[in-house]
């Protein structure tokens, strides 16, 4: 994959892969949405994550080092089945990838991170379109009630996750409010 080869050429190694691409274009009931838009949401969110991981893994496996962080999202969103199903898939994909890596004795780690509701170009569709207003009123409520998150909240959490990353947490799913010190302690106590 071009992205990985360019990263390796520029920096010599790839230490962290952060899969943050997302699509939520198919808004509406299953019987209303364009099947191609629905499938595109699944393709971007799930297949895109797998392809990026697959491209980065040979380098990380060779070095026996690396961290993969895959963004997940809401998994129970009526009116957003393509997005929701794909993000459930990303979570399960990451859990199983972590198990595969562990089974092979690899030190490469995999995690999911959920940002909460962040205002982006993607979520503006939920706020501005008739379909979004009908099917996703919680998006408007999140903004009106000040429950939307700044992108920087998730970015800071990703940095904390990278610092706390350890085999005991691999396969786990985290968010901007995660107390990573407590998560590490809890995971080590379960051993």
Residue numbers annotated as active site: 83, 87
CA dist 175 and 188 (Å) reads 19
C-alpha span between 140 and 31 (Å, rounded): 24
Kindly state the DSSP code that residue 165 receives in the 8-state scheme: -
Bridge-partner residues for 113, per DSSP? Answer: 71, 174
Contact 1, 55 (CB under 8 A): yes
Beta strands in the chain (DSSP E): 16-19, 67-71, 109-113, 173-174
CA nearest to 119, candidates 107, 111, 110, 128: 128
């Amino acid at each position: 994959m071009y992205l990985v080869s360019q990263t390796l050429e520029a920096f010599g190694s790839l230490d962290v892969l952060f899969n943050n691409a997302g699509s939520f274009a198919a808004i509406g009931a299953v019987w209303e949405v364009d099947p191609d838009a629905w499938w595109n949401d699944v393709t971007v969110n799930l297949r895109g994550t797998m392809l990026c991981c697959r491209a980065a893994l040979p380098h990380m496996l060779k070095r026996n080092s690396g961290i993969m962080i895959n963004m997940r999202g809401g998994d129970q969103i009526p009116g957003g089945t393509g997005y929701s199903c794909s993000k459930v898939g990303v979570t399960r994909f990451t859990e199983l990838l972590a198990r595969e890596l562990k089974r092979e004795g690899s030190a490469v780690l995999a995690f999911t991170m959920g940002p909460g509701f962040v205002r982006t170009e993607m979520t503006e569709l939920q706020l501005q379109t008739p379909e979004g207003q009908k099917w996703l009123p919680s998006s408007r409520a999140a903004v009106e009630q000040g429950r939307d998150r700044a992108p920087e909240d998730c970015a800071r959490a990703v940095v904390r996750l990278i610092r706390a990353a350890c085999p005991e947490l691999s396969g786990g799913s985290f968010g901007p409010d995660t107390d990573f010190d407590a998560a590490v302690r809890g995971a080590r106590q379960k051993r």
